[in-house]
Amino acid sequence: KIVLQPITDVAHLIHGPLGCEGNSWDNRGSASSGPTLWRTSFTTDLTETEVVMGHGERKLFKAIREIKEAYAPPAIFVYSTCVTALIGDDIEAVCKRAAEKFGLPVVPVNAPGFAGSKNLGNKLAGEALLDHVIGSVEPNDVTAYDINIIGEFNLSGEFWLVKPLLDRLGIRVRACIPGDARYLDIASAHRAKASMLVCSTALINLARKMEELWDIPFFEGSFYGITDTSEALRQIAKLLVMQGADPEILERTEALIAEEEAIAWMKLAAYRPRLEGKRVLLNTGGVKSWSVVHALMEVGIEIVGTSVKKSTPEDKERIKQLLKDEKHLFESMAPRELYNMLADGKADIMLSGGRTQFIALKAKTPWLDINQERHHPYAGYDGMVELVRQIDLAIHNPIWMEVREPAPWECQHAVEEELTNTKSENETGYVLQNFVGAVAGSFGKR
């Protein structure tokens, strides 16, 4: 569902017990510019009795019919789960029969949890698109400037910061797979002239198969950081020219890049003195393990470590070229090691996902969410400025000076010592006062 749920006008039906849907709903911050059907949860809600009695396929067919009648979506995606795969429910046969009866595409997605890792599930989702969706609709408005963006999830709406740049160049996004996508857009994606692959960990197989089947060349790029965004625009323009577009698009692309870079660098100039030399620990993976590294280095931020747990060999090579030192790469770091590194002051801020935020907070170190749960878009030129602004706000937040001060109970010994000294001073003063009074009295008697 990570790959397919951002398709916004499709009904996503989980065939399994209720908990399978509950654990997968709304766990990524993808955004939609239109339909909201993808935000509605659909499940067959299998019970123990239905599993034992073998009523799964019958209930699945009934659920498909109810969704079609109530919502009339352009397509329904049906996801198998561990339970239904183990009991042998043939969701492909049910989907085929439902599609014939109800007259709409019903796409089976055979990716039960026990099949393997999350990355394998992402690839299986890409295979489902290839087998049942892409190429099923022939568009009547093909141009020489149509492209696909593959592996872009539109987290926090960040692709909306990039699309206006493409619009200004006259480049049309035929399909963004899967962020803010529509079913018909993906179904006609095979008529694009070029593709850009954003997250190779998830959908490299999809890009390669589309190149093999429909001769759509692709490159792997990033919209994180000024330099990478500019390079991505150049590569898109070059591929389109290779596919028959007018070469003048290259000149327009360079003019746009020069204009946008000048604006972005002017905005970033105010942050460089405040952030230059600051140390960042990047605990993420995939495309962000190298693209964000490059983006931060552009403003003088030092990278003390980056996780490569979910990175491809190509991603790791890019990181090595950027950092020049393999000691900054780590597959995974135990929570205690992360805590010790932050508590010892080896990093000024940690950029990661929500699962490790409390390690940073316990170490009294600034933390910024950069994974799918984030609330700010960081792609494109404006996104780079926003990322730097958020890092600046986090590092220079005055709360960190407060929380790093010793707590009152940690100062108890010092307080007791001060009270003891005060008591001694009071007693000394009292004795001296009595002595002075006695001496004065004796002089008075004389």
Three-state SS for 118? helix
276 and 219, same structural domain? no
Domain range for 206: 146-268
Please give the DSSP secondary-structure letter assigned to residue 78: E
**Rounded to 5°, angle at Cα 83 from 71 and 45:** 35
- Assess if residue 395 is contained within a domain: yes
DSSP 357-414: HHHHHHTT--EEE-STT-SS---HHHHHHHHHHHHHHHHT-THHHHHTSPPGGGGHHH
Residue with tokens 């043939």: 90
251 and 165, same structural domain? yes
pLDDT for residue 425: 53
Cα–Cα distances (Å) from 427 to 104, 230, 416, 438, in that order, read 94, 76, 16, 17
CA distance 224 to 377: 10
- Assess if residue 127 is contained within a domain: yes
pLDDT for residue 342: 92
226 and 159, same structural domain? yes
Q: Which helix (H) or strand (E) holds 165?
A: helix 163-168
Residue 30: strand pairing partners? 155
Cα–Cα distances (Å) from 173 to 8, 141, 232, 236, in that order, read 16, 12, 14, 11
Least Cα distance to 394 among 280, 293, 272, 266 occurs for: 280
pLDDT for residue 7: 93
CA distance 179 to 156: 10
Which of 234, 268, 302 is the endpoint of a domain? 268
Number of structural domains the chain divides into: 4
Please give the DSSP secondary-structure letter assigned to residue 38: G
Three-state SS for 142? coil
10-residue mean pLDDT series, the chain (446 residues): 88 90 68 87 91 93 97 96 93 96 96 86 93 96 96 90 97 94 96 91 90 96 91 97 96 98 94 93 76 84 83 75 74 85 92 88 92 86 95 94 81 62 56 51 52
Sorted by sequence, the CB contacts under 8 Å of residue 300 that are 6+ apart come out as: 272, 275, 276, 277
Least Cα distance to 387 among 362, 341, 351, 347 occurs for: 351
CA distance 207 to 363: 42
- Assess if residue 114 is contained within a domain: yes
What tokens does 372 get? 């799918």
- Assess if residue 1 is contained within a domain: no
pLDDT for residue 415: 56
338 and 398, same structural domain? yes
pLDDT for residue 439: 46
Domain harbouring 67, CATH code: 3.40.50.1980
Which of 225, 244, 268 is the endpoint of a domain? 268
Where helices occur in 247-367 by DSSP H, the ranges are: 248-268, 272-275, 288-297, 313-323, 335-343, 357-362
Domain harbouring 302, CATH code: 3.40.50.12380
162 and 76, same structural domain? no
pLDDT for residue 431: 47
Least Cα distance to 356 among 345, 344, 343, 367 occurs for: 367
Cα–Cα distances (Å) from 235 to 50, 114, 146, 334, in that order, read 53, 39, 14, 39
230 and 334, same structural domain? no
CA distance 180 to 176: 7
Cα–Cα distances (Å) from 113 to 110, 117, 335, 382, in that order, read 10, 8, 26, 38
Please give the DSSP secondary-structure letter assigned to residue 76: E
276 and 261, same structural domain? no
Sorted by sequence, the CB contacts under 8 Å of residue 254 that are 6+ apart come out as: 234
Cα–Cα distances (Å) from 76 to 10, 61, 245, in that order, read 6, 12, 36
- Assess if residue 327 is contained within a domain: yes
